[in-house]
């Protein structure tokens, strides 16, 4: 494993996505157990997407997490989508976390709800459950959750909002096999904002795969700006970025 810092961000590079996922899972377990030790519970937010498979598989296989003391959240959902749709992020979380480890609670973003009502409801839940840990990914266009460039806001006053998806984000969903074609991908979504994501006590950015290499290069080498939202991680000292050799292929330190 290689390890280095870019501004305030620790970066770790692993030989494979499997090793990356295992290491990130170990750090996630540490953060969860620390929160449980301190106040008898942990509030954790998870990302969806194919890039999270190895991490979530490693995490949910661990036998040293008191999941009955964990309250979980996720980051986004398409507007108008029911939680039984194959591409629903709520369904993703239910199948990969809730049905596997049975946390005390998992609060899903309800895409079928009125967006304004849902944003307020989910914002209230986040205020009531300050995050101890946020496990996020980075999109192929550098987005965090569905905060797409260049409209992402590092100082967003809202915690949850309705957004219009960038076409690059929509193409990524097709490329990952969640939709048959671009017109099938919804144009709007509800997303947790960047300040709300980074407010967590610990942030793990889990970013394997070659298709993320350009976004990683922009995040680490370009100026910190909303043209690559993930660049804000470089001014987040409580964050760690986990790469494999494929996603780190364009980073000079690797």
Rounded percentage of the chain residues whose pLDDT exceeds 90:
96
When pLDDT is cut at 50, 70 and 90, the band that residue 137 belongs to is very high
The residue among 87, 58, 76 whose CA lies nearest residue 152 is 76
Query: Above 70 in pLDDT, residue 46?
Result: yes
Q: How many other CB atoms are there within 10 angstroms of residue 121's CB atom?
A: 16
Averaged pLDDT of the chain: 96
When pLDDT is cut at 50, 70 and 90, the band that residue 253 belongs to is confident
CA 205 to chain centre: 7
Query: Above 90 in pLDDT, residue 104?
Result: yes
pTM listed for this prediction:
0.96
The pLDDT score that the predictor gives to residue 254 is 59
In SS3 terms, 173-184 reads as HHHCCCCCCHHH
Query: Above 80 in pLDDT, residue 145?
Result: yes
d(CA 94, CA 84): 10
Stretch among 52-61, 154-163, 168-177, 214-223 having the lowest mean pLDDT: 168-177
Q: Is there a cis peptide before residue 158, judged by omega within 30 degrees of 0?
A: no
Structural contact between residues 123 and 159, judged by C-beta atoms closer than 8 angstroms: yes
The pLDDT score that the predictor gives to residue 235 is 98
What is the mean predicted confidence (pLDDT) over 62-67? 97
Does 35 or 167 have the greater pLDDT score? 35
DSSP 104-135: SEEE---TTS-HHHHHHHHHHHHHHS--SEEE
pLDDT one-digit tens code per residue, 156-165: 999 999 999 9
């Amino acid at each position: 494993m290689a390890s280095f810092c870019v501004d305030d961000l620790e970066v770790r590079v692993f030989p494979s996505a499997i090793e990356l996922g295992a290491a990130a899972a170990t750090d996630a377990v540490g953060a969860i157990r620390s929160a449980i030790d301190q106040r008898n519970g942990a509030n954790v937010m998870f990302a969806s997407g194919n890039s999270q498979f190895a991490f979530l598989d490693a995490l949910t296989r661990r036998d040293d997490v008191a999941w009955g003391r964990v309250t979980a959240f996720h980051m986004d959902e398409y507007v108008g989508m029911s939680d039984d749709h194959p591409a629903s992020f709520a369904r993703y979380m239910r199948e990969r976390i809730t049905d596997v480890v049975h946390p005390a609670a998992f609060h899903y973003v309800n895409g079928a709800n009125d967006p304004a009502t849902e944003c307020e409801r989910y914002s209230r839940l986040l205020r009531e459950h300050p995050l101890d840990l946020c496990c996020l990914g980075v999109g192929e266009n550098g987005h965090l959750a569905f905060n797409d460039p260049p409209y992402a806001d590092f100082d967003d006053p809202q915690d949850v909002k309705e957004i219009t998806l960038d076409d690059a984000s929509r193409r990524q969903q097709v490329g990952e096999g969640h939709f048959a074609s671009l017109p099938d991908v919804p144009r709007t979504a509800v997303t947790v904002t960047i300040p709300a994501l980074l407010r967590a006590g610990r942030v793990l950015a889990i970013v394997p795969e070659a298709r993320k290499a350009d976004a990683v290069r922009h995040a680490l080498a370009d100026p910190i700006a909303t043209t690559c939202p993930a660049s804000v991680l470089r001014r987040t000292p409580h964050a760690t970025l986990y790469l494999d050799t494929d996603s780190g292929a364009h980073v000079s330190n690797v």
